[in-house]
Amino acid sequence: MHIETLRWEGDRPGHVQMVEQTLLPLEHVEIAVRTVPEMVDAIYRLAVRGAPAIGVSAAYGVLLGIQEDAGMEAGALVAKVGEVCDTLAAARPTAVNLFWALNRMRAKAEKDHAGGANGEGIVSGLFEEAHAIFHGDRDTCRRMGEIGAELIHDGDTLLTHCNAGALATAGMGTALAPMYVAKEQGKTIHVFADETRPLLQGARITAFELMHAGIDVTLITDGMAARVMFEGKVDAVFVGSDRIARNGDVCNKIGTYSVALAAQAHDVPFYVVAPLSTVDPSLDSGDLIPIEERAPEEITEGFGKRTAPEGVKVYSPAFDITPARLITGIITEVGLIEQPTMAKMEDALRRGGVDLSGIETA
């Protein structure tokens, strides 16, 4: 069984219960998030992380900010929804699901207001929308898992980078979902998990999650990925994504590009597993995706222990871009996009119900 990352507790007023991921794997505890500032803090410091989970958390964060305002005048309430969305949007810059979810919540409030809803109606509508985002993510994860599992054969050894499992979503994960479904199907698989610096999500979270699910996993450092491919030990790579450009360029945790280059050099299929909500159709290429830079201390004194000289310069981008030309396929809820191009990405978006006509591109 995979781990449940977060959930809404109670009705109104309610709160969010989530796994405190910064304590994994030494402690598996949940925290209660009751206010918008607490949700911003949870997203920023990676108590909750992974693009889909961040999106769901943001939607629930809106509820935290307006759940007791049903008596407010409708226009003022819509304005407050916008303010709450703006506050949550500042938590992290790269994961597009954050903005996708907030835009859905903002649009829902505006639509209900335009339809004549009062404050109570707007709040009720936002609760429905947030829960729909939560359940939609769970369904999407399952669907991607089923599609991706078709690419996994009994006895395969897979490699993954960072964490794109249940703890990165509201469901069973993105990149790990095909592994979970493959296990359900009775396939025997083995997984190499890159540790993924600087915060070691692969070591702390992916390894923990796969072991919890009973999947055979071996932890390696980031620099070992090419070696195990050279030794012929990897049949395919599965990774997630925080944002995908319209042309199929993929943004994921730093080090993913290196894994893709190594996979190409050793003729290992490289798959990205991500919902269409992770695609940003307003950006024509990955060069335009904003890359978050993390605090130097995460490298120089990670987890409270200094491992670098005082005063050394540090460059710490949290993500990199893998060009579409290195990607064997992108697995989405509408199917596998093989060797992604802009035309193929646009076709998948349309099949997923995305109207591209009004989207300005950069």
DSSP-assigned letters across all residues of 6-71: EEEESSSS-EEEEE-GGGTTT---EEEE-SHHHHHHHHHTTSS-SHHHHHHHHHHHHHHHHTT-TT
Sign of CA dihedral 270, 231, 193, 139: positive
Q: What is the pTM of this model?
A: 0.90
Could you tell me if residue 362 is inside a domain?
no
Residue 196 and residue 256 in contact, taking contact as beta carbons nearer than 8 Å: no
Kindly tell me if the per-residue pLDDT of 3 is higher than 90: no
How many domains does the chain contain in total? 2
If asked whether residues 104 and 214 sit together in one domain, one would say: no
If asked whether residues 35 and 154 sit together in one domain, one would say: no
Which pLDDT does position 1 carry in this prediction? Answer: 62
Each residue's pLDDT tens digit, 187-219: 999 999 999 998 899 999 999 999 999 999 999
Sign of CA dihedral 219, 225, 231, 233: positive
Radius of gyration of the chain (CA): 20
Kindly tell me if the per-residue pLDDT of 142 is higher than 80: yes
If asked whether residues 185 and 317 sit together in one domain, one would say: yes
Which pLDDT does position 356 carry in this prediction? Answer: 93
If asked whether residues 201 and 76 sit together in one domain, one would say: no
Please state, rounded to an integer, the average pLDDT across all residues of the chain.
95
- 136 residue type, one letter: G
Residue 47 and residue 29 in contact, taking contact as beta carbons nearer than 8 Å: no
Could you tell me if residue 265 is inside a domain?
yes
Kindly tell me if the per-residue pLDDT of 79 is higher than 70: yes
If asked whether residues 195 and 323 sit together in one domain, one would say: yes
Domain CATH number, residue 13: 1.20.120.420
Closest by Cα among 170, 295, 191, 169 to 241: 169
If asked whether residues 216 and 327 sit together in one domain, one would say: yes
Distance separating alpha carbons of residues 225 and 218, to the nearest angstrom? 12
| Three-state secondary-structure class, residue 240 | coil
Which pLDDT does position 163 carry in this prediction? Answer: 95
Which pLDDT does position 193 carry in this prediction? Answer: 98
Which structural domain range is residue 36 located in? 6-142
Which pLDDT does position 127 carry in this prediction? Answer: 97
154: annotated active-site residue: no
If asked whether residues 137 and 151 sit together in one domain, one would say: no
Domain closes at, from 91, 115, 142: 142
If asked whether residues 84 and 190 sit together in one domain, one would say: no
Each residue's pLDDT tens digit, 8-45: 999 899 999 999 999 999 999 999 999 999 999 999 99
Mean pLDDT for the stretch of residues 148-167 = 97
Q: 208: which residues sit within 8 A by CB, 6+ positions away?
A: 24, 25
Distance separating alpha carbons of residues 123 and 145, to the nearest angstrom? 33
Which one of the listed residues 242, 249, 280, 320 is annotated catalytic?
242
If asked whether residues 240 and 325 sit together in one domain, one would say: yes
